[in-house]
Structure 1
Amino acid sequence: MKKKNVVIVILIILGLAIAGFIFLRLFARAVTSPENADKNKVLYYRNPMNPEVTSPVPMKDSMGMDYVPVYEGERATREAGIYMSAEKQQMIGVKKDKVEKRDLALEILTVGKVAYDPDLYVAQEEYLQALKTVEATKKSILPSVSEQSQSLLEAAEKKLILLGMTKDQIEELGKKGKSQENLYLASGENTAWVYITIYEYEMGLIKEGIPVEVEAVAYPGLKFSGKITAIMPVLNAETRSVQARAEIEDAGHKLKPEMFVNAKIKVDLGEKLAVPENAVLDTGARKIVYLAKEDDMLEAREVVLGQKAAGFYEVLDGLREGDMVVTSGNFLVDSESKLKGAM
């Protein structure tokens, strides 16, 4: 009886061994089949603590941990994003908002001073004098005299342009026939010129005609309104800024030459496709948002952004109107995405 039991046990062991052998053969064949070859191809090895650090060959990190292989078959998973259940999203405080068109406007806060610009006043006087000379020599019998007068007028006009006046303003100056005395001294006019500092990164927002509001230290709480009338054509290489000249209403003649002011420039950007500022993660090399998709999938999307205004970024590329993006908890989502090697 015992001998019979031993035989049965041996047969069972042989059967399991044969079944295991057959399974391993089939598994090896499936792994090495053409359709699975690419899926099992190692693309690279990533740092177990920082997936953005990779190596083409196996290695260990500074703590002695092996780099994790990333296979070809994982590419689709990485592109699709990561799955995070609704319960987990609620637990880590994930909130979402819609990408939509909004009216964007921003304010530029800067400094300036009331104009004391005798050079521009003198240049205006020179231009007016050259204009009179051209008129007086039009009927000269000597062509050289007329040509020289015209040459002096052109030179005077170029000087005014270099000092920040536009061609339209120069033409208006010629019609009035009078220099702007409020450029260098308090005059009887009800306006004052103010030079405002515009830094290089804000230059693209400033245009002639934009409203501006200034406040002088001497008159706290009293605001003077006006508009930008000209922008200097040359950038200051040391301060990386340019001067904008504003014409400010000053009926009470309170603004004196060289007086310092604080300026507020209101810029209307118009209707733009906008994403909440909190949705954007800036890695330094790129800007990404997490797009909320169906079935609790969160997809990292690189975006190109424009101006920031009132808590929103202008979207130039990467998102469409109606997209839902993560606005809170996205740092935790990003951390999990990196740990899973989804990025």
Structure 2
Amino acid sequence: MKSTHFASLALIAAAAVAVGSFYAGRQTAQRPAEPAAASDARKVLYWHDPMVPGQRFDKPGKSPFMDMQLVPVYADSDANMSGVNISAAVQQNLGIRYATVRRVDVVASFEAVGSVQFDDRLSTAVQTRVAGYVEHLAVRAPMERVRKGQALATIFAPDWLGPQNEWLALKRAGVSPELVTAARDRMRALSIPPELVRQSEEAGTAQARFTLSAPMSGVVAELGVREGVAVTPGMTLFRIAGLEKVWAVAEVPEAQALRLARGQKVRAVLQADAAQHFNGALAEILPEVSTSTRTLKARFEVDNRNGQLVPGMLLRLQVAGPMASRLVVPSEAVIRTGKRAVVIVRGETGAFEPREVSLGVDSEDDVEILQGLSEGEQVVASGQFLIDSEASLRSVLGGMGTSAPAQPPASVASAPAAIGVVHTGRGKVEDLAPDSITISHGPIASLKWPPMTMGFSRTVPQAFADIQVGDTVEFAFKEGGAMGYELLSVQKQPAGSKP
């Protein structure tokens, strides 16, 4: 009996131990493990919808935009850092290329198109200082080329006969040398050419015909007489323009003109034949700004000793400025938004962040960076727009690095600041399509809509997968999408609810 009693006690004790171990195991299983406790200890900064990263909420819940739960963002998470992290695999798929901000020595040069004109400083007027007649005209058309010393016209001047005859008579009479000299000075005062006086002395008779010669080589830019016409003192018979140098007049933008200085070298290339080039320098910037084009006229002096350039020709002027050291990046790395310029910078940790920069002048495939970047930094040269799409950088670019305060998730009405004007309604689901949901809804007060049945676009095909035809729903939507309005949220209502 006693052994049987002890055996019963042993069985009861073993059962008690087993039951205790079972409950202890359950309690242990129900207690969170150390790593989970550590995870719970992480500080949550805010909750957000990954599909709408610009909106922040101060407590968990269902997203008012998509049919999904809000995701927490922790204090030690990379999402809290300035910039966006993208995995190496995604970067490779996007074909992202990088460029280094570098310092180069560049010449502040630019190109302009100039029109060839005569250099007015090389222009000479050919006149007669006596009344007479044009007996013979050697050059009969304007724009003819002439050489220095070439005969232009023969003039008959009867007024010069008297002074010459008086001088010759005094010489024959053997009067005092003072009287002969005075007569000669009188002829000089009347502008009788010395060559004509010499001919009169050799022939012994007064000469009234003399030849006008070209004082320089060039082009007859102006022909003021014809054969047989009378001429008067001071009348311009010919105007000859030199061709050793010509002007190339170009219209230069106002901003570029401020960098120009007299004497700057220029390389001129003939527009019609790029193989022909000429050297020149900036002669003058005309002090007048065109109010319609905001340009100034710059006058470049171009060497034309071979006479190949004539007025009206076009020259491509390559103006070289002073050498300067500048920070540059590839032009393709800059996102130009109209009012500002932004580049995507790759930080030391690999995160991408937008940065606003100030741009200078373009130089071939590079652009000068005046402010916003430092030498040696890496920027995204190709794929920055894909990064914007992949990582939803629109919200980051919108704030340009500023951290927005957490916003309460009170209702969908708190979202318009981030996604536009949001409207809400209540209705019944009439039809489902992969890209749309047809809802028979009541009045929409914010749009002043009466009750109607219409289709709304889905943001993604799998959105609102739990909604069925016939469900009574409360929904939020905004303008956009393929059907004009797209759904942001669709909440199924309890059975029996009125649409």
Q: Is TM more than 0.5 here?
A: yes
How far apart are the structure 2 equivalents of 1:280 and 1:213? Answer: 31
Give the equivalent residue in structure 2 for 1:89. Answer: 91
Indicate which of 108, 116, 122 corresponds to 1:114: 116
Indicate which of 386, 389, 412 corresponds to 1:335: 389
Give the equivalent residue in structure 2 for 1:135. Answer: none
Say yes or no: does 1:211 pair with 2:265: yes
Comparing both structures, which one devotes a greater share of its residues to strand? 2
Give the equivalent residue in structure 2 for 1:276. Answer: 330
Indicate which of 195, 200, 217 corresponds to 2:249: 195
How far apart are the structure 2 equivalents of 1:186 and 1:114? Answer: 17
Conservation of the 8 A alpha-carbon contact between 1:186 and 1:253:
no
How far apart are the structure 2 equivalents of 1:199 and 1:78? Answer: 46
How far apart are the structure 2 equivalents of 1:272 and 1:279? Answer: 17
Superposed counterparts of 1:212-251, under 5 Å = 212-216=266-270, 221-251=275-305
1:277 is matched by which residue type in structure 2? S
Change (3 A) 1:256 1:96: same
1:108 is matched by which residue type in structure 2? F
Say yes or no: does 1:304 pair with 2:358: yes
How far apart are the structure 2 equivalents of 1:283 and 1:79? Answer: 24
Larger radius of gyration: 2
How far apart are the structure 1 equivalents of 2:118 and 2:276? Answer: 22
2:265 is matched by which residue type in structure 1? P
Change (3 A) 1:252 1:285: same
- Structure 1: tracts of 5 or more residues without a match: 1-11, 20-29, 55-63, 123-180
Change (3 A) 1:47 1:231: farther
By how many angstroms is 1:215 displaced? 3.4
- Structure 2: tracts of 5 or more residues without a match: 1-22, 31-40, 56-63, 125-217, 222-238, 398-499
Conservation of the 8 A alpha-carbon contact between 1:100 and 1:273:
yes
2:299 is matched by which residue type in structure 1? R
Change (3 A) 1:294 1:247: same
| SS of the residue 1:112 aligns to | strand
Conservation of the 8 A alpha-carbon contact between 2:118 and 2:241:
no
How far apart are the structure 1 equivalents of 2:71 and 2:112? Answer: 51
1:112 is matched by which residue type in structure 2? G
Change (3 A) 1:233 1:86: same
Change (3 A) 1:65 1:196: same
How far apart are the structure 2 equivalents of 1:215 and 1:110? Answer: 11
Conservation of the 8 A alpha-carbon contact between 2:114 and 2:317:
yes
How far apart are the structure 2 equivalents of 1:254 and 1:186? Answer: 17
How far apart are the structure 2 equivalents of 1:109 and 1:227? Answer: 14
Higher mean C-alpha displacement, 224-233 vs 212-221: 212-221
Change (3 A) 1:46 1:117: farther
Change (3 A) 1:106 1:116: same
| Number of aligned positions between the proteins | 244
Task: Give the TM-score of the pair, scaled to structure 1.
Answer: 0.57
Q: CA deviation digits over 1:121-178, x for unaligned, max 9?
A: 89xxxxxxxxxxxxxxxxxxxxxxxxxxxxxxxxxxxxxxxxxxxxxxxxxxxxxxxx
By how many angstroms is 1:339 displaced? 5.6
| SS of the residue 2:349 aligns to | helix
Indicate which of 308, 313, 319 corresponds to 1:265: 319
Change (3 A) 1:333 1:47: closer
Say yes or no: does 1:318 pair with 2:320: no
Superposition RMSD in Å:
4.5
Conservation of the 8 A alpha-carbon contact between 2:86 and 2:391:
no
Change (3 A) 1:116 1:239: farther
By how many angstroms is 1:229 displaced? 2.0
Q: CA deviation digits over 1:83-134, x for unaligned, max 9?
A: 1122221221112121121122365332222225769989xxxxxxxxxxxx
| SS of the residue 2:287 aligns to | coil
2:359 is matched by which residue type in structure 1? L
Conservation of the 8 A alpha-carbon contact between 2:270 and 2:315:
yes
Conservation of the 8 A alpha-carbon contact between 1:78 and 1:341:
no
By how many angstroms is 1:272 displaced? 0.8
Give the equivalent residue in structure 2 for 1:133. Answer: none
By how many angstroms is 1:70 displaced? 12
Q: CA deviation digits over 1:213-253, x for unaligned, max 9?
A: 22345666321111112111221112321111111111112
Conservation of the 8 A alpha-carbon contact between 2:333 and 2:384:
yes
Change (3 A) 1:335 1:104: farther
By how many angstroms is 1:278 displaced? 2.0
Comparing both structures, which one devotes a greater share of its residues to helix? 1
Conservation of the 8 A alpha-carbon contact between 1:86 and 1:296:
no
Conservation of the 8 A alpha-carbon contact between 1:78 and 1:342:
no
Change (3 A) 1:217 1:308: closer
Give the equivalent residue in structure 2 for 1:150. Answer: none
Change (3 A) 1:280 1:79: farther
By how many angstroms is 1:255 displaced? 2.2
Task: Give the TM-score of the pair, scaled to structure 2.
Answer: 0.41
Conservation of the 8 A alpha-carbon contact between 1:303 and 1:317:
yes
Conservation of the 8 A alpha-carbon contact between 2:280 and 2:301:
yes
| SS of the residue 2:380 aligns to | strand
1:273 is matched by which residue type in structure 2? L
Change (3 A) 1:41 1:112: same
